[in-house]
Structure 1
Amino acid sequence: MANKLANISILVLDDHRNMRLLWRGILLAFGIRTVHEADNAEDAFKQVGDKDIDAIIVDHHLDGLTGAEFAGMLRRAPDSPSQHVPIIACTADTRRSVLKLLVDSGVDEILAKPVSADQAWKKLAAVVNNRRQFVKTAFYYGPDRRRKDGGRWTGKERRKEQPVQTDPEDM
């Protein structure tokens, strides 16, 4: 499978050089030959426009814009060079509020630090082999946030919860 990844081009956006080097080593071990690096969102945005980037790995805590702000800008900006490029967010900050920001920004996957090669492989395989369809609403543009088809909601808008009916005798 590594041979299939040889022609993939990855951009790593992280303001820490050691993390970019760690990512480079992991990606090269996967057989990916083209790894670009950026230490700030402005440079990354420019590289996405200038180069053929197949996926982006972005740290959440950056100098300047956050990873969520970068992803949101890439997904929704009128001058975005690539609204549909797969984005894997990587963060040590796994508070629910941060994860919600990342999901709402339009990232495809979230990877918690410390990074393991196994988890990195799974996230990369998910965005390359099993990409979710994109959804566009007034407030969101990005991969469908639902992981499963189906569910119990049968109404017009699935994201709304059905009121739970309780029988007073059950209380």
Structure 2
Amino acid sequence: MYRIDFNKLRFLIVDDNPHMRRILRTLLHSFGTREVYEAEDGATALEMYSHYSPDILITDWEMPIFDGLELAQMIRQPEAKGNPYAPIIMLTAHSEKRRVTLARDAGVTEFLAKPISSKGLYQRILNVVASPRPFIRTRNYFGPDRRRNTTAGYIGPERRHGGEADIIQQPSLLDKARVNT
């Protein structure tokens, strides 16, 4: 188990609901975070993302101008400004399998259904900091490895077949945020 110094991490919260932004900001502050930026729509978030270079992005799905799914897709584009490897945590009240799959395929790192809890948010942040998945670049996808089961001997129906894929190990946020004891 790792202890994370949240004060060393920079967050961008994106949600059109000011009450939800306040809840998220309060939770992040209670974890020890001091640097929290906020945006109320996808367009503002994209500008702030390239300007502030947050370590972690927490975004709602449904927002004006463009939504969290479109925001994730824009961040994961090779020509995008900012860090395309930053973890993206998607929040939504709609947690159907279809939506989870769409978010995963857009490059979202973690998914959290509303209503959120402090434990759920903390766990998602811990996952992206302490156990980052490698990034995959294929002809049709760039983002965190979509597979949770990476056992080499796996031969099930979901096994990736053919095609070239580059596996990219990005620097871990754990190096930045680990508490030295």
Which TM-score band (shorter chain)? 0.7 to 0.9
TM-score by length of 2: 0.82
Larger Rg: 1
Give the match for residue 7 of structure 2.
Answer: 6
For structure 1, which runs of at least 5 residues remain unmatched after alignment? 161-171
CA contact (8 A) 2:11 2:57 kept: yes
More divergent stretch after superposition (20-29 vs 68-77): 68-77
Higher RCO structure (Cα 8 Å, ≥6 apart): 2
- Please state if 1:98 is matched with 2:105: no
Name the count of aligned residue pairs: 157
Alignment of structure 1 residues 30-69 onto 2, 5 Å: 30-69=31-70
Identity %: 34
CA contact (8 A) 1:73 1:80 kept: no
| Counterpart secondary structure, 2:143 | strand
Deviations 1:18-65 (A, max 9, x none): 000000010000001111000011111111111131100000011121
Give the match for residue 79 of structure 1.
Answer: 80
TM-score by length of 1: 0.86
CA contact (8 A) 2:89 2:124 kept: yes
Following the alignment from structure 1 to structure 2, what is the Cα–Cα distance between the partners of residues 11 and 86?
11
Q: Which 4+ residue blocks in structure 1 deviate beyond 6 angstroms?
A: none
Q: CA deviation at 1:66?
A: 1.8
Following the alignment from structure 2 to structure 1, what is the Cα–Cα distance between the partners of residues 149 and 73?
23
Question: Letter of the aligned partner of 1:66 in structure 2?
Answer: D
Q: CA RMSD in A?
A: 1.6
CA contact (8 A) 2:76 2:143 kept: yes
Deviations 1:40-97 (A, max 9, x none): 1111111111113110000001112121111011101513322111100011011222
Cα distance change on mapping 1:40 and 1:77 into 2, 3 Å? farther
